[in-house]
Structure 1
Amino acid sequence: MVIVTTREKTVAKHCSREDTNMYRLEGLKDAAALDLFKKKVFKDKRGKVDLVLDMEEQARLILKKCNGLPLAISTIGGFLATKPKTAIEWRKMHYRISAELEINPELRTIKTVLMRSYDGLPYHLKSCFLYMSIFPEDCIIKRKRLVRRWIAEGYCKEMQGMTAEEVGDNYFDELLDRSMILPGEGVNHHSGKIDSCQLHDIIREICISKAKEENFAFTLEEGCCLSSTQGPIRHLAISSNWRRDKDVFDSMLDLSHVRSLTVYGEWRPYFISEKMRFLRVLDLDDTLRLRNHHLDKIGQLRHLRYLSIRNCVYIWYLPNSIGNLSHLQTLDIKGTRILELPTPITKLRKLQHLHTTGRFISTEKENDMFFESYWMHNAH
C-alpha cells in the first residue's frame, strides 16, 4: 500500500480515481495538538510534563495560531525546545510569530512550504487569495459576500457559458481544494456547498505579508506603519482599533487608486475621501455610528459596484443620489431600519443582488414595476 499526502485535491485525484480513497484530514484537535507540542518542546521527557497554568495558557495561544497544522506545531515546538521553558518566552513567541516566520531560519520551513502553495496558484487565484488579507483574524467569511466582492473588483467574469458568479464559485472551491482557505461549518441547503470560509492564522500572516509587498492591500490598525517605498494601495481596510485623525489618514496613504474600502468598528466621516474616485467596493458591514447624513454624497462614487451597510442600525433611508450609481451590482441593506427605497433606485439597471430584511411596499408606480421585475429575475 502506498499512502500519499498532499495539500491539493487535484494531486490526490491523479493518485486515485476513487473518491472513497481520498480523505480530507482535519487539523489536530486541541488535546492532540497540545500533546504534540509538549513532545517537541520537552523531547528529553517525551512530552510527559504537566504545564503550570500560565505556561499552558501561552501554549494554547500559540496552538491557536497553528490551527491544528502538524507542520507548524512541530516546527514551533522544536524551536522552543532550544529556548528557556518559561511563560515569558512563550508569550514572546505568541506575539512575534509573524516576524519570526520571516527572520528565523528554524521557522522558515513553515513559510517555505506554504509559499510553494501560493506560488503554485494561477494568476487569477492569486488575486482572489490576496484579497482575503483585508478580513480580520478569525473572521468567518461568507461565500456570497466574498464572491460578489470579487465580481465587483473584476476578478471573476463571464466565460464559456458561465455567469460571473458561477466562475467565482469555482474559484472559491479551487482555493478550498488547494487548502489555501479553510471550510466554514455551514453548508448551503440548496446547493449543498460550503457557504463560508476562513484563513488559517499562519497562512493569513503570509497572505498579509504578500499583499503588502505587492501594494495589493493594506490594513490601517494601531501601530501600523508604511515603508518609504509604499506605492498606491488598491484595497484598504480600517481596523476597529485605529484611532487617528483626518490629517494622519490623509497623509499616510495615496488614496487615488483605492478600489475597495472595508471598515471594521467605528465610522469616521473622513474615511471616504474625494481622492477615491475609482472606488468599486464599499463594505460597511456592522460599522458602528454610521448615520443617514454620512451617505448623502454616496452618489459621487460613480464606479461603485458593491455597497453594503448590513446591520448599520442607525440608517433609516438611502439618499436619492443612490440613483447615480449606474454600475451598482450588489446592494445590501439587511439589518438596517430602511423600510422604503427612493424612486431613483429604478435607475440601477445593473443591480443583480438586493439584500433586505423584507420586501418593500411602495406607493410609486415606477418603483412597483422595478421591484416586480427585480423579484421576478433576481429574488433569492
Structure 2
Amino acid sequence: MACASLLSLNQTLDQILHPHDQTEQPHIIRSLHEQVTFLLSFLDVSSPQNSDKLLGLEERIRDAAYEAEDIIESSMSDQIVSESGSHEYRTESHISNQIVLEWDQKFERLQKIIQELNSISDEVLKMRERNEIQVLLPSNSLPAAASKSRSTYKSVAVGLDRDLMEIKKLLTKPHSELVVVSIVGMGGLGKTTLAKLTYNDSLIANHFDVRAWVVVSREYQEQEVLKGLLNSLRGLNHESGEESIEKLAENVSKSLKDKRYLIVIDDVWRMNQLNQVKSLFPDNNNGSRIILTTRKSQVANRASLLCPPYHMSVLNVEESWNLLHEMVFGEERWPPELEKIGKMILMECRGLPLLLVLIGGLLYKSERTLHYWKHVARNIGSKIDDIEYEFGILNLISFIYDQLPHHLRVCFLYMCVLPEDYEIRKSKLTKLWVANRFIKPDRSKSLEEVAEEYLKDLVDRNLILVREWSYRGEIKTCGIHDILRDFCLMKAEEEKFNLDVSYLPKVHYNLRQVSIVTDLKNQIPRLALTHNCDLRVRAVTFFFRNSPNDIHLIKKFWLLRVLDALTIRFEEFPVEIVELVNLRYIALTYWMKHRFPASIAKLCNLETLIVNPGKFRSIFNTSFLPPEIWKMSRLRHLLFMRSYLPYPTGALKGGSFVPLENLQTLSNVINFRWTKEILEMMPNLKKLVISYEHDGRTEWSSYCFDNFVHLHQLEVLKCIFFAKCYIKYQDPLPVNFAFPQKLKRLTLSGCRISWKHMTVVGSLSNLEVLKLKFHAFEGPEWELNDGKFRRLKLLLIHMTDLEHWKVDETHLPSLQCLSLRYCYNLVDIPSGIGKIPTLEEIELCECKTSVVTSAQVIQEEKESLGNNGFKIVLKDKDDTNISS
C-alpha cells in the first residue's frame, strides 16, 4: 500500500503543480513532490526479496502519504466549495493559486510529514550502502518470450481429464429421474474448473436442451441467485431486479418445463441453500441433471440418493509436473538447470491445483534464475506446514503477494471490495482503478490502457480469473477465487484499506474503501453515532438495494472520489453530492426522465459519470444534460442509456466552455450533430454510441455522418437509426457514410443501406466485430468482394430481407462466430463459410429450416476433418443480444 498511497499523492501534487501554471508554488509543495518522486522510483526498482526488510518502512510511507494527501485535498476541496457560488469557470491553475492562501495553516503538519519522508529516504540510502536492499536490474527482467500475455494458451484442464470423463458418464447415464451429481473437495482442488469444463463440453452441450450456471456462495441471497439463473438460461442480462422472489422462481420453472436441462449450482455451503434452489427445478422425467460443487461433505452426501458424491483428490506427481510446466513455460521446454529445484517446488505444493497454479504464475512472471527459484522453494516450505489447514494456504498467498511489484498490490487487494463470486466487467474495473488513483501515469498511454496492462499481469499471475473472453480474445469479465478473496479481506483490514459498512464503528482513521453489501436500515443509527464522523474514505460501493435516502450518509465522506450506487434506484439526481467536489467517479440508476442540475459543474474533478436505466429500458430513461457539462474538462467517460447533450453554441462564440480533450467514451447521445467544431472539442474519443430518431423532415445530411472519419482515435462505434412512431420504412442513410480506419467494433442498426455499399465497411482494415441489426443493410443478395473483412472475428446479421449470400473462405479468413437472427428470407448458409478454418460457432435464431440444415452440414464437414470443437447454438426468441 506504500506505492498506492504515493501514487495517489503524486497525482494530487501534479494537479497542483500544473504544467501550464506559471505562478510560483509554495516551496513546501515542491519539496514534498521531490520526496514522493524519489520514494516512488525506489519502490519501482526494489526487488520483491526486500519485502521483510521494508515492511516497517512501507507502513511509515503509507501513513505519511495518506496524511499529506488528506491535508492537501481537504484544502483544495474547501477552496472549490468556497468559490462554488460563482458562475465563472475556474481552471486548475486558478484553483492552485488560491490554494496558496491555505498553506499557512497546514504548513506545520506538512513540514513534519516531509521530515518523516526525509528520514525514510535516508534509511533507504543507508540500507543501499550496506547492500541490505536488492535492486531490480534490466538483466533480471523477464525473457522476451514471457513478456507477452500467456492467458490465451493456458490449459486449465491439465490433470482433470480423468475427472472430466467420470462426470460426463454420470451426467449421460440412462436414468430418466432428475439426478444431482455432487463434486466435493477442499478449497483449491479445482471443483469449479471441473464443472466448467463439463458444462462447456460439446458432447454435454448437445445432450441437453438448455443449460444454466448459478453461484450460491456463503453470502447467499435468494433473489440474486434467481436472477443469475434467469440470466444464464436466457443468455443475457435479464432486467428482473424489481421482480418478486415468487415471480422470479415462477419464471425459472417455466424456462425449464418440458426440457432436458443441466444446471450447475456452484459453491454451496449449507443444505438449506441447496434445498431452496433445488425446489425450483421440475423433474421432467427426461434425464435432466444438476451438478453441485461444495466443500462440505455433509451437503454432498445429502444432495442425492441416486448418485454418490464425486470426491476430487490432489494431483499425482506426473499431473502436478505437467500443470506446473504448463503454467510456467507453456510450450517451451523446461530448462535443465531449473529442473531439480522445480521438482522441489512441486513437492511443496503437494498436488493441490490452486497452489500449483499460483506458484506457476509467480515463477512465470519472475526472473528465471536458480538463485530466485531457491528463494521461492525455501519460502514455500516454511509457509505450508499442513496442507489441510487453510491458514497454511493463506500464508503462501501472503508470500506471493509480497513478491508482487508494488504497483500491482493495491489493484489485487481491491478485489476484496467485490462480494464473493462477483463477476465484474473489465471496462468497469479499470475505470475504478483509475478513479481511485491506483494507476501510474505513462505519457505514451492512457491511464485505462495502463490499467488494462495491470489487469493482464494479474491474470497471467493467476491472481485474477477471467470469467469471460470476448471474440476478439480480450478479457470481458473477471473475478477472484474465494481463497484469494479471503486473503485480500485479511490483508485489506491489516492495511486499513477496506471494510464492510457493518464494521464502521471500528474503522481506522486511514480507511480508504467502504463496501456496502447489506441493507443499511439497521446500520443508520450506528453510523450516526460513530465517533469517526470525519472519515477520510475515498470510495463507497453499494452492492445491496438500499433506499435513495441512504445517500445522505455519503456526506460524511467529504473527500470521496468514487460513488458506485448502481443498486440504488433514484427518481431524481441526488443534488447533495455536488458538494463532494473531490468525486471522480459516479455511477447511479434512474427510473425515469431526469435533468441534471447545472450545479453538476461544481464537480470539477469528475472523470466518469454512469447512469443505468434500471428495469425499464425505454424512452422514459432519458438523461438531459446541462450546457455546463462542456465546462468539465476532466471528463473521460460519459455513459447513459439515452441522453440529450446540448450543442455547445457558447463555445463556438468564444464562450467559457473548454475542449473535452480527455473524453474517451460517450454513450448514448440522441440526435447530435457531428460538426467539425465538435470533433475538435473531443479529439481523443475511443468509443461512441449514438441514436437518431427520424422525424421525416430533418435531412440525414444535417447530422454530418461523413465527419466520423475524422475521429482518428475511435475504436468502437454503435449507430442506431429509427423512425418516430415506429414507421417501418424510413429514408435510407446517405451512402457517403464514412468511418475512421482505427475502428475495431462497429454496430449499425436501421440504416437501410443497399448491400452493394457494404464496401465502405469492408475496407476497414482493423475491424474485428461487425453487428448489423434491424435492416442495417437491405436487398435480396449480398456478394462479398475479395480483400475485405480480413480481421473480422464476429459477424451478426439481425432482421434483414437478405435471401442469397455469396461468400467463400477467402472473404472472411479470420471469422470465429457467425450469428444469424430473424433472417426469415435467407435460404441457406453458403458452404464456403464452413471452409473458414477459424470458424468455431454458428448461432441461429428464428431462421428457416433450410438454414439450420445447411449449418448442420457444415458441422458434419468440420467433424469429419477432426474439428470437434465446432458448435451450433439455437437461440430462443427472447434472446436478442450477442456479446462481443
What's the TM-score, normalizing by structure 2? 0.32
User: What SS does the corresponding residue of 1:125 show, helix, strand or coil?
Assistant: helix
1:67 and 1:200 in contact (8 A); partners too: no
The structure whose RCO (Cα within 8 Å, separation 6+) is larger is 1
Secondary structure of 2:568 counterpart: coil
CA contact (8 A) 1:330 1:354 kept: yes
Q: Which residue of 2 aligns with 1:26?
A: 156
User: Residue 281 of structure 1 contacts residue 305 of structure 1 at CA under 8 Å; is this kept in 2?
Assistant: yes
Deviation at 1:178, TM superposition (A): 0.8
Could you tell me which amino acid in structure 2 is paired with residue 352 of structure 1?
R
State whether structure 2 residue 576 is matched by structure 1 residue 297. yes
Q: Which residue does the alignment assign to 2:649?
A: 365
Instruction: Name the CA distance, whole Å, in 2 between partners of 1:320 and 1:21.
Output: 48
List per-residue Cα deviations over 1:59-90 (Å, max 9, x = no partner): 48978996449xxxxxxxxxxxxxx9644999
- CA contact under 8 A between 2:504 and 2:530: conserved in structure 1? yes
Deviation string for 1:16-62 (max 9, x for gaps)?
A: 779899951326879938989xxxxxxxxxxxxxxxx9997694897
Q: Any conservation in 2 of the 1:353–1:378 contact (CA below 8 Å)?
A: no
Larger CA Rg, structure 1 vs 2: 2
Residue 258 of structure 1, CA deviation: 0.5
Structure-1 separation of matches of 2:146 and 2:514: 43
Q: 1:58 to 1:250 in 2, by over 3 A?
A: farther
Q: Please, which of 528, 547, 553 is the counterpart of residue 250 of structure 1?
A: 528
Q: How does 1:230-379 map to 2 (within 5 A)?
A: 230-252=508-530, 254=532, 256-268=535-547, 269-271=549-551, 272-285=553-566, 287-292=567-572, 295-309=574-588, 311-314=589-592, 316-335=594-613, 337-358=621-642, 360=644, 362=646, 365-366=649-650, 372-373=678-679, 376-378=683-685
Q: Is the 8 A contact 1:59 1:90 kept in 2?
A: no
Alignment of 1:63-142 (within 5 A): 67-68=192-193, 86-87=298-299, 106-142=389-425
Unaligned regions of 5+ residues in structure 2, if any? 1-139, 168-177, 195-295, 304-383, 615-620, 660-671, 673-677, 688-884
Distance 1:266 1:25 in 2: 39
Give a deviation string over 1:193-217, Cα, whole Å, max 9, x none: 2122111111111111111221101
For the residue of structure 1 that corresponds to 2:445, the secondary structure is coil
Kept after mapping to 2: 8 A contact 1:33/1:63: no
Structure 1 gaps, min length 5: 1-10, 37-52, 70-83, 92-100
Paired residues, what number? 322
1:249/1:291 Cα in 2 relative to 1: closer, same or farther (>3 Å)? farther
Contact 1:184 1:196 in 2 (8 A): yes
Worse-superposed segment, 166-175 or 269-278 = 269-278
Could you tell me the TM-score, scaled by structure 1's length? 0.70
Tell me how far apart the structure 1 counterparts of residues 188 and 164 of structure 2 sit (CA, whole Å). 7
Compared CA separation, residues 303 and 33, structure 1 to 2 (3 A): farther
Equivalent position SS for 2:628: helix
Deviation at residue 118 of structure 1 after TM alignment:
1.4
* Structure 1 residue aligned with 2:444: 161
Question: Any idea what SS the aligned residue of 1:206 has?
Answer: helix
Deviation sequence 1:92-111 (CA, Å, 0-9, x none): xxxxxxxxx9x997333322
Partner residue, 1:183: 466
Name the CA distance, whole Å, in 2 between partners of 1:243 and 1:132: 26
- Contact 2:509 2:536 (C-alpha < 8 Å) held by counterparts: no
1:270 is displaced (CA, Å) by 3.6
Aligned to 1:156, what secondary structure does the other structure show? coil
Q: What's the Cα RMSD here?
A: 4.3
Identical positions, percent: 25
Distance 2:188 2:388 in 1: 20
Q: Supply the distance in 2 between the matched residues of 1:363 and 1:16 (Cα, whole angstroms).
A: 50
On the 8 A contact 2:515/2:540 being kept in 1, the answer is yes
Contact 1:259 1:278 in 2 (8 A): yes
Larger strand share, 1 or 2: 2
